[in-house]
Amino acid sequence: MNETFVEVVAESRLMRRIAELGKEISADYAGRRPVVLGVLNGCLPFIADLVRSMPGPMEIEFLSLTRFGEEGRVSIAMDTTTPLQGRHVLIVEDIVDTGLTLASLRRMIEIRDPASVATVALLDKVPRRIIEIPIEYRGFEIGDEFLLGYGLDWEGQYRNLRSLWAVTDLSVLKRDPYALNQETATTGEGFGAR
Ligand code: IMP
Protein backbone atom coordinates (compact mmCIF):
# COMPACT_ATOMS: atom_id res chain seq x y z
CA MET A 1 0.00 0.00 0.00
CA ASN A 2 1.14 3.53 -0.76
CA GLU A 3 2.24 5.21 2.49
CA THR A 4 2.77 8.66 0.97
CA PHE A 5 -0.65 9.80 2.19
CA VAL A 6 -1.82 8.88 5.66
CA GLU A 7 -5.21 9.78 7.08
CA VAL A 8 -4.37 11.45 10.41
CA VAL A 9 -7.71 12.81 11.62
CA ALA A 10 -10.86 10.96 10.60
CA GLU A 11 -14.06 12.82 9.84
CA SER A 12 -15.77 11.56 13.01
CA ARG A 13 -12.94 12.89 15.19
CA LEU A 14 -13.01 16.27 13.41
CA MET A 15 -16.76 16.52 14.00
CA ARG A 16 -16.43 15.67 17.71
CA ARG A 17 -13.68 18.22 18.29
CA ILE A 18 -15.46 20.95 16.32
CA ALA A 19 -18.65 20.36 18.32
CA GLU A 20 -16.61 20.81 21.53
CA LEU A 21 -15.08 24.03 20.20
CA GLY A 22 -18.50 25.34 19.21
CA LYS A 23 -19.85 24.68 22.68
CA GLU A 24 -16.90 26.35 24.39
CA ILE A 25 -17.02 29.41 22.12
CA SER A 26 -20.81 29.73 22.45
CA ALA A 27 -20.51 29.75 26.24
CA ASP A 28 -17.80 32.43 26.10
CA TYR A 29 -19.82 34.60 23.73
CA ALA A 30 -23.15 34.24 25.56
CA GLY A 31 -24.95 37.59 25.49
CA ARG A 32 -22.82 38.86 22.62
CA ARG A 33 -23.46 38.72 18.88
CA PRO A 34 -20.08 38.00 17.29
CA VAL A 35 -18.99 38.48 13.73
CA VAL A 36 -17.61 35.06 12.84
CA LEU A 37 -15.02 35.91 10.22
CA GLY A 38 -13.80 33.14 7.95
CA VAL A 39 -10.51 33.49 6.12
CA LEU A 40 -11.04 32.05 2.64
CA ASN A 41 -10.48 29.62 1.06
CA GLY A 42 -9.20 27.18 3.64
CA CYS A 43 -11.79 27.97 6.32
CA LEU A 44 -14.74 26.78 4.28
CA PRO A 45 -15.53 23.29 5.66
CA PHE A 46 -14.40 24.24 9.17
CA ILE A 47 -16.53 27.39 9.48
CA ALA A 48 -19.55 25.56 8.05
CA ASP A 49 -19.33 22.86 10.71
CA LEU A 50 -18.30 25.24 13.51
CA VAL A 51 -21.15 27.72 13.16
CA ARG A 52 -23.66 24.88 13.07
CA SER A 53 -22.52 23.90 16.55
CA MET A 54 -22.93 27.51 17.78
CA PRO A 55 -26.67 28.11 18.20
CA GLY A 56 -26.54 31.76 19.41
CA PRO A 57 -26.97 34.94 17.35
CA MET A 58 -24.07 35.81 15.06
CA GLU A 59 -23.19 37.15 11.68
CA ILE A 60 -20.98 35.17 9.33
CA GLU A 61 -18.55 37.13 7.20
CA PHE A 62 -15.60 36.25 4.98
CA LEU A 63 -12.47 37.85 3.71
CA SER A 64 -9.63 36.59 1.57
CA LEU A 65 -5.99 37.54 1.68
CA THR A 66 -3.18 37.91 -0.82
CA ARG A 67 0.24 37.01 0.51
CA PHE A 68 3.35 38.76 -0.69
CA GLY A 69 6.99 38.72 0.30
CA GLU A 70 8.93 36.24 2.38
CA GLU A 71 7.96 37.78 5.69
CA GLY A 72 4.34 36.71 5.33
CA ARG A 73 2.85 40.15 4.70
CA VAL A 74 -0.70 40.10 3.44
CA SER A 75 -3.24 42.44 1.94
CA ILE A 76 -6.99 42.02 1.82
CA ALA A 77 -8.13 40.74 -1.59
CA MET A 78 -11.83 40.48 -0.67
CA ASP A 79 -13.18 42.36 2.32
CA THR A 80 -16.11 41.93 4.71
CA THR A 81 -19.47 43.51 3.95
CA THR A 82 -20.16 44.41 7.61
CA PRO A 83 -18.14 47.15 9.37
CA LEU A 84 -16.18 45.63 12.26
CA GLN A 85 -16.04 48.73 14.46
CA GLY A 86 -17.46 47.97 17.91
CA ARG A 87 -18.05 44.30 17.03
CA HIS A 88 -16.78 41.13 18.68
CA VAL A 89 -14.76 39.53 15.89
CA LEU A 90 -13.94 35.83 15.90
CA ILE A 91 -11.40 34.98 13.18
CA VAL A 92 -11.77 31.45 11.79
CA GLU A 93 -8.57 29.97 10.35
CA ASP A 94 -7.88 26.49 9.04
CA ILE A 95 -4.25 26.34 10.13
CA VAL A 96 -1.66 28.56 11.78
CA ASP A 97 1.87 27.73 10.70
CA THR A 98 4.56 30.42 11.22
CA GLY A 99 1.84 32.76 12.50
CA LEU A 100 2.84 35.57 10.16
CA THR A 101 -0.44 35.59 8.23
CA LEU A 102 -2.54 35.69 11.36
CA ALA A 103 -0.35 38.38 12.94
CA SER A 104 -0.84 40.63 9.89
CA LEU A 105 -4.55 39.90 9.75
CA ARG A 106 -5.07 40.69 13.43
CA ARG A 107 -3.27 44.01 12.99
CA MET A 108 -5.50 44.88 10.03
CA ILE A 109 -8.63 44.05 12.01
CA GLU A 110 -7.56 45.81 15.18
CA ILE A 111 -7.12 49.05 13.20
CA ARG A 112 -10.89 48.92 12.60
CA ASP A 113 -11.54 49.36 16.31
CA PRO A 114 -13.55 46.21 17.08
CA ALA A 115 -14.88 45.56 20.60
CA SER A 116 -12.73 42.40 20.76
CA VAL A 117 -10.75 40.07 18.51
CA ALA A 118 -10.16 36.36 19.05
CA THR A 119 -9.06 33.51 16.81
CA VAL A 120 -10.20 29.95 16.42
CA ALA A 121 -7.80 27.79 14.41
CA LEU A 122 -8.62 24.20 13.59
CA LEU A 123 -4.92 23.31 13.47
CA ASP A 124 -1.97 24.81 15.27
CA LYS A 125 1.44 23.84 13.90
CA VAL A 126 3.17 24.74 17.14
CA PRO A 127 6.81 23.85 16.27
CA ARG A 128 6.73 26.09 13.18
CA ARG A 129 5.69 29.30 14.97
CA ILE A 130 8.11 32.20 14.45
CA ILE A 131 5.96 34.99 15.85
CA GLU A 132 4.06 34.98 19.10
CA ILE A 133 0.38 35.35 18.38
CA PRO A 134 -2.64 34.57 20.53
CA ILE A 135 -4.87 31.69 19.43
CA GLU A 136 -7.78 31.67 21.84
CA TYR A 137 -9.34 28.44 20.56
CA ARG A 138 -7.61 25.59 18.77
CA GLY A 139 -8.82 22.25 17.49
CA PHE A 140 -5.61 20.22 17.36
CA GLU A 141 -1.95 20.91 18.02
CA ILE A 142 0.13 19.29 15.32
CA GLY A 143 3.80 18.84 14.41
CA ASP A 144 5.71 19.85 11.33
CA GLU A 145 3.96 17.57 8.81
CA PHE A 146 2.21 18.89 5.70
CA LEU A 147 -1.51 18.25 5.83
CA LEU A 148 -4.21 18.12 3.21
CA GLY A 149 -7.99 17.94 3.18
CA TYR A 150 -10.86 19.53 5.09
CA GLY A 151 -10.00 22.95 3.65
CA LEU A 152 -6.24 22.49 3.29
CA ASP A 153 -4.89 22.40 -0.23
CA TRP A 154 -2.01 21.60 -2.50
CA GLU A 155 -2.21 23.82 -5.58
CA GLY A 156 -5.90 24.36 -4.93
CA GLN A 157 -6.68 20.63 -4.70
CA TYR A 158 -8.03 18.49 -1.85
CA ARG A 159 -9.97 21.12 0.13
CA ASN A 160 -13.04 18.92 -0.36
CA LEU A 161 -11.64 15.84 1.41
CA ARG A 162 -13.74 15.05 4.47
CA SER A 163 -10.80 14.13 6.68
CA LEU A 164 -7.22 15.27 7.23
CA TRP A 165 -4.29 13.59 5.52
CA ALA A 166 -0.56 13.90 6.15
CA VAL A 167 1.83 13.87 3.20
CA THR A 168 4.97 11.94 4.10
CA ASP A 169 6.78 12.67 0.82
CA LEU A 170 6.06 16.06 -0.75
CA SER A 171 8.12 15.20 -3.85
CA VAL A 172 5.24 12.93 -4.92
CA LEU A 173 2.84 15.92 -5.03
CA LYS A 174 5.47 18.11 -6.66
CA ARG A 175 5.70 15.55 -9.48
CA ASP A 176 1.95 14.99 -9.66
CA PRO A 177 -0.40 17.42 -7.87
CA TYR A 178 -3.28 14.93 -8.33
CA ALA A 179 -1.48 11.97 -6.77
CA LEU A 180 -3.78 11.74 -3.75
CA ASN A 181 -6.87 11.65 -5.95
CA GLN A 182 -5.41 8.64 -7.74
CA GLU A 183 -4.63 7.00 -4.41
CA THR A 184 -8.14 7.50 -3.03
CA ALA A 185 -9.67 6.41 -6.32
CA THR A 186 -7.97 3.02 -6.02
CA THR A 187 -8.37 2.47 -2.26
CA GLY A 188 -11.83 4.05 -1.89
CA GLU A 189 -10.62 6.02 1.13
CA GLY A 190 -10.58 9.78 1.56
CA PHE A 191 -13.41 11.11 -0.55
CA GLY A 192 -16.61 10.36 1.25
CA ALA A 193 -14.87 8.04 3.75
CA ARG A 194 -16.40 7.95 7.22
P1 IMP B 1 1.52 31.12 8.19
O2 IMP B 1 1.46 32.56 7.80
O3 IMP B 1 2.94 30.58 8.05
O4 IMP B 1 0.96 30.83 9.55
O5 IMP B 1 0.76 30.32 7.08
C6 IMP B 1 -0.55 29.97 7.15
C7 IMP B 1 -0.98 29.45 5.80
O8 IMP B 1 -0.03 28.49 5.26
C9 IMP B 1 -2.27 28.66 5.92
O10 IMP B 1 -3.40 29.51 5.85
C11 IMP B 1 -2.16 27.69 4.76
O12 IMP B 1 -2.62 28.31 3.58
C13 IMP B 1 -0.69 27.43 4.61
N14 IMP B 1 -0.27 26.15 5.24
C15 IMP B 1 0.55 26.01 6.29
N16 IMP B 1 0.72 24.71 6.61
C17 IMP B 1 -0.04 24.01 5.73
C18 IMP B 1 -0.31 22.60 5.55
O19 IMP B 1 0.18 21.70 6.27
N20 IMP B 1 -1.14 22.27 4.54
C21 IMP B 1 -1.72 23.20 3.72
N22 IMP B 1 -1.50 24.53 3.85
C23 IMP B 1 -0.66 24.92 4.85
| 144 catalytically annotated | no
97 Cα: distance to centroid of ligand 1 (angstroms) = 5
pLDDT of residue 73: 79
73 Cα: distance to centroid of ligand 1 (angstroms) = 13
pLDDT digits (tens, 9 = 90+) for 139-187: 999 999 999 999 999 999 999 999 999 999 999 999 999 998 765 654 5
Name the pLDDT band for 191 (thresholds 50, 70, 90).
Answer: very low
pLDDT of residue 184: 61
32 Cα: distance to centroid of ligand 1 (angstroms) = 30
pLDDT of residue 70: 72
From the candidates 49, 94, 97, 124, give the one annotated as an active-site residue: 97
Atom of ligand 1 nearest to the CA of 128: 3
> What span, in angstroms and rounded, lies between the C-alpha atoms of 174 and 178?
9
> What span, in angstroms and rounded, lies between the C-alpha atoms of 170 and 155?
12
Domains of the chain: 11-142 (3.40.50.2020)
Distance of CA 87 to the CA centre of its chain: 22
